[in-house]
Structure 1
Amino acid sequence: MFIHLGGEKIIRTSELVGIFDLSIEKTSKVTKQFTSRAGEEARVEYIGEEECKSLVVTLDKVYYSPISSATLKKRAHHLYVNG
């Protein structure tokens, strides 16, 4: 199964580690360190031109998505329940 993250980006649900509200990056030192390290390793991808609302962590990359974490979680849950 797949989940649409916004723009033209689609990932396999099997690669999904977590979906987080972007505010976590501002409030969590550990999350900020994690995303900084991913950026240094060129494993960060910004999706589209719109304001980022969520952080999607996969096995290989970190995506900044313009779709809210609540919407992405609903999509992932829908695929899990119906898949």
Structure 2
Amino acid sequence: MFLHLGGDEIVHVKDIVVMMDMEKTTISAITREFLRTGEEEGFIKTILEDEIPKSFVVAYKNCMQVIYLSPLSVSTLYRRYKKLETMRKKSKERNGGTLGCQKT
């Protein structure tokens, strides 16, 4: 399942390492250094250039770590994730654990 991070950006939920609130976590010098290093090394991807990021999501894409700066809050991203999980569980229950595949 894929999580929409804003704009045209989606990421597979299994590839997500962490979702962090930008305002709350950038108080820490370690977090600021992490983001600064990510920018210097080209790991940062800003989803919408004209919006201030509310969160950052660390994920893997093609075996490389990427830090997505998202215009969406962590609570919005988490709600979307929970909705996907609920849909996945219901689908699994309806299909006898096959996630939409037909039993042969």
Note whether the superposition's TM-score is higher than 0.5: yes
Long gaps (5+) in structure 1: none
* Aligned counterparts of 1:21 and 1:56: Cα–Cα separation in 2: 9
Question: What CA distance in whole angstroms lies between the structure 1 residues aligned with 2:51 and 2:32?
Answer: 21
Q: Which residue of 2 aligns with 1:51?
A: 52
How far the C-alpha of 1:55 sits from its partner, in A, is: 1.0
How far is the alpha carbon of 1:77 from its aligned partner? 2.3
Aligned residue among 70, 80, 83 for 2:85: 80
- Which runs of structure 1 show a deviation greater than 3 angstroms over 4 or more consecutive aligned residues? none
Provide the secondary structure at the position in 2 that maps to 1:57.
Answer: strand
* 1:22-62 Cα deviation digits (max 9, x unpaired): 1111x111111111111111000111122211111113200
CA RMSD of aligned residues (A): 1.2
SS in 1 for 2:52: coil
Structure 2 unmatched ranges of 5 or more: 89-104
**1:2-41 to 2 correspondence within 5 Å?**
2-23=2-23, 24-25=25-26, 27-41=27-41
Query: Percent of aligned positions with the same letter in both sequences?
Result: 34
